[in-house]
Chain A
Amino acid sequence: MMETAQFMLTYTVVVLFAMMVLGIYGVVTRPNMIKKVIMLNIMGDAINMLFIIIGYRLVYPVFPPVYEKHVGFREFLSGAVDPLPQALVLTAVVIGMAMNILLVTYAIQAHRLYGTTDVRDLADVLGQERREGP
């Protein structure tokens, strides 16, 4: 039982690191700003999941950090997962959302002003503007 849980946990951690790295790869190599934002989100979600997994406990039975009277307090203490990473992630999710709004707005505005969300084309257009004036 515990071996299976250990294996699943290790597998999840490896997959989450893979997602994180995939996110960094996408942000670095994709020229489209919207794709960059999507990859940034994938990376952020992977990091949030890693945070929650840090708080997980390899015990059986395991409870969410919500105390229910019928469980019994001793049993709850010995089986509940760490609540602190979950509280931290709650904040991180909100901040990720706020960041998303801002990034997507800038991408849309860039598309309205210059007709492209490709950073290479944007660099060309902006460089031309700087040389010749708008």
Chain B
Amino acid sequence: MGARRDVVVALLLLMAMAVLSYSAVASGFASGSLRPLGAEYLERAASTPEVVTAIVWNYRGFDTLFETFVFFLAIAGTLSVLRLSSRQEREVRRNEEREPHRKMDEIVRVITKLVVVAIVAVSASIAIHGQLTPGGGFQAGSAMAVASLLLFVVFSKFVLERSGLTLRHTLTAYAAGLAVILVTVFLPVLMGGHLLQIDLLPGESGLLSLDVGEYTAVTFGFLSVFLVLGISEWIFKGVLREEVK
């Protein structure tokens, strides 16, 4: 029964694929000409060379702002599912002290240290060059998240926590990043402009602070989720079981 249903689903989807591809190709999917809106943006390239970033920050800035909110909702949803009361947090910490501190081989650790330094440098350069390259803050933050994930795997979450990056600190840094974005959005209103009219701010400081704010927010948002997900399975299960009781 299950196999026959799968075959029917597959055949239907293959037919859908054939129809979609045929109609896309027949309608002249791509041509030499440009759509009028795209042409209009390209013509402004004389003043802002990187057109994609210009669209994202100047013309569709609200979209990027709400993208930050979507990311915030995802982090908030994750943390509320994996929430721990302060009593449970103490219990987790007590259990973690009993856990053996595993870490990887010397070679892996040394190479990871070198790679992490490189990743941090690259991500900072992406964030600071945000007005020249597409993406900016979010891409830089994702690169940083890779660095923290590497540290997680090769050392352990205890190394991060002992060097002062507990959940409370990362959440504070995340909130600070969001605050920088919000201030940049609302500052033009106080100066007599519209929301997000960042050209009122001196020089390129508007773009830079949006990029750096998003960079901080994404880096520490990810790190917070990793720190909560990094709690050992058996400890978390014990805490959950007690909560159910």
How far, in angstroms, from A10 to B23 measured CA to CA in the complex? 11
List A residues at the B interface (Cβ < 8 Å). 9-10, 13-14, 17-18, 20-21, 24-25, 28-29, 53-59, 65-68, 73, 76-77, 80, 82-84, 86-87, 90-91, 94-95, 97-99, 101-102, 105-106, 108-109, 112-113, 134
Given A13-B29, A82-B34, residue A67 in contact with residue B134 (CB < 8 A): no
The answer to whether A20 and B17 have CB atoms under 8 Å apart is: yes
Closest 5 A/B residue pairs (Cβ): A82-B38, A98-B74, A67-B45, A65-B51, A83-B51
8 A Cβ contacts from B70-126 to A: 70-71, 73-75, 77-78, 81-82
Q: B16 at the A/B interface (Cβ < 8 Å)?
A: yes
User: Which residues of chain B are near A84, meaning CB under 8 Å?
Assistant: 35, 37-38, 41, 55
Instruction: Check B74 against A57 for contact (C-beta < 8 Å).
Output: no
Residue B190, interface by CB 8 Å: no
**Which of B13, B20, B42, B244: most chain A Cβ within 10 A?**
B42
Which residues from 53 to 80 on chain B have a C-beta closer than 8 Å to any C-beta of chain A? Answer: 55-56, 60, 63-64, 67, 70-71, 73-75, 77-78
Q: Taking CB as reference atom, which chain A residue is nearest B225?
A: A101
Q: Which one of A66, A73, A90 lies within 8 Å of B50 (CB-CB)?
A: A66
Residues of A within 8 A of B30 (CB): 9, 53-54, 56-58
Contact B78 A87 (CB under 8 A): no
Residues B13 and A113 in contact, CB atoms below 8 Å apart: no
- The 8 Å CB contact of A66, one of B49, B82, B142, is B49
Least CB distance from A112 to B in Å reads 6
Closest to A84 in B: B38
- Please name all residues of chain B whose beta carbon is closer than 8 Å to the beta carbon of A97 when the two chains form the complex: 71, 142
B residues near A24, Cβ cutoff 8 Å: 13
List the A residue with the shortest CB-CB distance to B132: A66
Cβ–Cβ contact A108 & B229, under 8 A: yes
Q: In the complex the two chains form, is B56's CB within 8 Å of A87's CB? A: yes
Q: Are B39 and A13 in contact (CB under 8 A)?
A: no
Greatest chain A CB density within 10 A among B34, B82, B225 is at B34
Of B24, B39, B60, most buried by chain A (CB within 10 Å of CB) is B24
Q: Which residues of B contact A94 (CB under 8 A)?
A: 67, 70-71, 138
Q: A76-B45, A84-B35, A84-B38 are in contact. Are A13 and B25 (CB under 8 A)?
A: yes
B contact residues around A58 at 8 Å (CB): 30-32
Q: How far apart are the CA atoms of A86 and B41 in the complex, in Å?
A: 12
12 extra interchain contacts, Cβ-Cβ under 8 A, other than A57-B33, A58-B32, A91-B60? A14-B17, A65-B45, A77-B42, A82-B35, A83-B41, A83-B51, A84-B38, A90-B52, A98-B70, A102-B74, A105-B229, A134-B244
Which residues of chain B have C-beta atoms less than 8 A from A112's C-beta?
Answer: 233, 236-237, 240
A/B interface sample: 28 pairs, CB < 8 A: A10-B29, A13-B29, A14-B25, A17-B17, A17-B24, A21-B14, A25-B10, A28-B9, A56-B30, A57-B33, A57-B34, A58-B32, A65-B45, A67-B49, A77-B43, A83-B41, A83-B42, A83-B52, A84-B35, A87-B55, A95-B67, A98-B71, A101-B74, A102-B74, A105-B229, A106-B81, A109-B82, A113-B240
